[in-house]
């Protein structure tokens, strides 16, 4: 039986467009867009594309629905991407594994995409949902399992290639508090990867003010663009951003390692021809390798250096116990 959801003009955050909130784009091969004045005078054009895919993540706290959608001929390849849902969305209507169909209405002006809405979304094939028993403040409750780590969980090990070309496993940083964020160097939007660079710069200066503490803290900016972000590229980028190893290091990881660590930390990303669509993620890992804090989505770029410094100090004081 089809479970129909009320169409609510599901306005998605346009990850695939550089003008909107959850996408970052490398544009070296793209033609120059029309002049702003000419574009402003052009009429808005709307095209509709059928969208179909499987629900891969439901995050009511971040108001996101992640869909692994099929190829949309003439518009975008198959990929998994999060859609920001409007206030008031009933997330209990969505379940992992549900197969959904809807219409993607894409708006453009003067040949430049301005945004899109996901409308008429229907669950056409409900998933058979495996449930696990979880203890809650209200007592035992059957809930859908989640792949995302929680504070206290062991963070999976992976290998990173650092800006100095050396290889290092995350586990080799045990004994330190590790603050890990994800970026890629070609990201042009100031409120995304460049903002994380600025935040890590400020945080590194705050940590370095106490040499004893600095010796027990490692900041890692991990690129999810290993094909472009080679150690040479990362080294130059680090110099520009003011990163000084060993306190703050840029690194990257293989596609396989990224695929293993990303779901555990709530990171979603996917390459297109000239861009990488992604969300934001910052994790604090205690000296014992267990997760101390995880900020994903809007929270990942909302923290301040003083706020993060308190988390670091608490993790150091606990020693991971």
In this structure, are 169 and 217 located in the same domain? yes
In this structure, are 197 and 103 located in the same domain? no
Last residue of a domain, one of 125, 145, 168: 125
Question: What is the SS3 assignment for 186?
Answer: coil
DSSP conformation letters of 59-91: ETTTTEEEEEEPPBTTTB-SEEEEEEPPTT--G
CB neighbour burial string for 14-39, b if at least 16 within 10 angstroms, e if fewer: bbbbbebebbbbbeeeeeeeeeeeee
CA–CA separation, 234 vs 248, rounded Å? Answer: 12
CA–CA separation, 162 vs 234, rounded Å? Answer: 8
Last residue of a domain, one of 83, 103, 125: 125
In this structure, are 212 and 284 located in the same domain? yes
In this structure, are 168 and 95 located in the same domain? no
In this structure, are 181 and 305 located in the same domain? yes
Q: Which domain holds residue 163?
A: 159-318
Q: Residue 106 maps to which CATH number?
A: 2.40.50.320
In this structure, are 172 and 107 located in the same domain? no
Number of structural domains (the chain) is 2
Using the 8-state DSSP alphabet, how is residue 300 labeled?
A: G
Q: Residue 293 maps to which CATH number?
A: 3.40.30.10
In this structure, are 168 and 310 located in the same domain? yes
148 domain-assigned: no
Q: What is the pLDDT along the chain (321 residues), one digit of tens a residue?
A: 344 333 333 333 333 343 333 444 444 444 555 556 666 677 888 999 998 999 888 888 887 878 889 998 888 888 888 777 767 777 778 888 888 888 888 888 877 777 777 777 778 887 765 555 555 566 666 555 567 888 999 999 999 999 999 999 999 999 999 999 999 998 877 788 899 999 999 999 999 999 989 999 999 999 999 989 999 999 999 999 999 999 999 999 998 888 888 888 888 777 655 667 778 889 999 999 999 999 987 677 788 999 999 999 999 988 755
217 domain-assigned: yes
In this structure, are 119 and 163 located in the same domain? no
CA–CA separation, 99 vs 107, rounded Å? Answer: 25
In this structure, are 15 and 68 located in the same domain? yes
In this structure, are 275 and 188 located in the same domain? yes
132 domain-assigned: no
pTM above 0.75, yes or no: no
212 domain-assigned: yes
């Amino acid at each position: 039986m089809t479970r129909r959801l009320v169409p609510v003009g599901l306005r998605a955050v346009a990850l695939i467009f550089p003008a909107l909130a959850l996408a970052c784009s490398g544009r070296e091969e793209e033609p120059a867009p029309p002049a702003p004045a000419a574009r402003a005078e052009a009429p808005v054009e709307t095209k509709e594309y059928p969208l179909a895919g499987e629900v891969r993540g439901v995050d009511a706290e971040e108001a996101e629905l992640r869909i692994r959608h099929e190829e949309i001929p003439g518009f975008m390849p198959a990929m998994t991407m999060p859609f920001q849902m409007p206030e008031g969305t009933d997330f209990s209507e969505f379940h992992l594994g549900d197969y959904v169909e809807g219409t993607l209405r894409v708006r453009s002006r003067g040949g430049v995409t301005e945004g899109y809405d996901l409308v008429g979304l229907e669950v056409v094939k409900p998933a058979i949902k495996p449930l696990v028993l979880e203890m809650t403040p209200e007592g035992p409750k059957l809930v859908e399992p989640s792949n995302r780590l929680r504070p206290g969980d062991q963070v999976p090990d992976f290998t990173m290639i650092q800006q100095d070309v050396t290889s290092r496993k995350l586990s080799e940083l045990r004994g330190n508090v590790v603050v890990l964020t994800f970026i890629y160097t070609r990201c042009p939007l100031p409120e995304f990867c460049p903002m994380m660079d600025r935040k890590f710069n400020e945080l590194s200066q705050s940590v370095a003010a106490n040499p004893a503490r600095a010796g027990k803290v490692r900041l890692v900016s991990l690129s999810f663009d290993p094909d472009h972000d080679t150690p040479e590229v990362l080294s130059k980028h680090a110099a520009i951003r003011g990163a000084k190893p060993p306190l703050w290091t840029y690194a990257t990881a293989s596609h396989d390692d990224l695929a293993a660590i990303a779901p555990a930390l709530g990171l979603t990303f996917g390459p297109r021809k000239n861009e990488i669509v992604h969300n934001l993620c910052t994790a604090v890992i205690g000296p014992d390798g267990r997760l101390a804090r995880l900020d994903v989505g809007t929270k990942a770029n909302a923290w301040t250096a003083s706020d993060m410094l308190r988390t670091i100090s608490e993790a150091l004081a606990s020693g991971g116990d």
